[in-house]
Amino acid sequence: MSVRLKIVSVGEPSLRGVSQTLSKEQLLSPSTQNLIEYMRETLRDAPGVGLAASQVGEALQLAVIEDRAEYHKLLTKKELEERGRSEVPFHVIVNPSLELVTESSETFFEGCLSLPGFTALVPRAKQVRVRCLDHQGEPKIIEAFGWYARILQHEIDHLRGTLYIDRMLAQSFSTVENYTRHWKNR
């Protein structure tokens, strides 16, 4: 049975609170394992590259991430290279801590499933290190750069009650339609 969760929109209180950490026992519980599977289905259905539990109304330090190759088809080889974007297999991050490995940042347009139809330029660190638990409660260290680092920063922000609009270059905020018309090929 396929279950797709409702993704909450900006203004929903769960998007602005700091999410609760999960113990290994809580993580391995049937309800949390089901939540992970439902979030996976919801992410793919959206489609998106990351989804935090707070985006489906659950204030838990948990996010699912996947950047599928099929999402890259509309980008040129040059755009993929500029963004440092490549396929990222499905995985779960739980109770993550984020370390910015480089002080340098890159600025690209970013969107969010909780702010559908909008985008803005957001500066993000080029490289990060994330310490977290995986879906089975095993410790994991993720070294990421480029677009993958951006996805991790975006999702971990969600777990801290921060949205990309808090970090965006305000004058770049745009509808996706106007971005496509005026900025996409610049």
Residues designated as active site: 155
Measured CA angle at 50 (ends 147, 138), to 5 deg? 95
Task: Report how far residue 109's alpha carbon sits from residue 84's, in angstroms, rounded to the nearest whole number.
Answer: 14
Backbone angles phi, psi at 35, to 5 degrees: -55, -45
- In one-letter notation, the amino acid at residue 76 is T
- In 3D space, the residue among 157, 149, 138, 167 whose CA is nearest the CA of residue 51 turns out to be 157
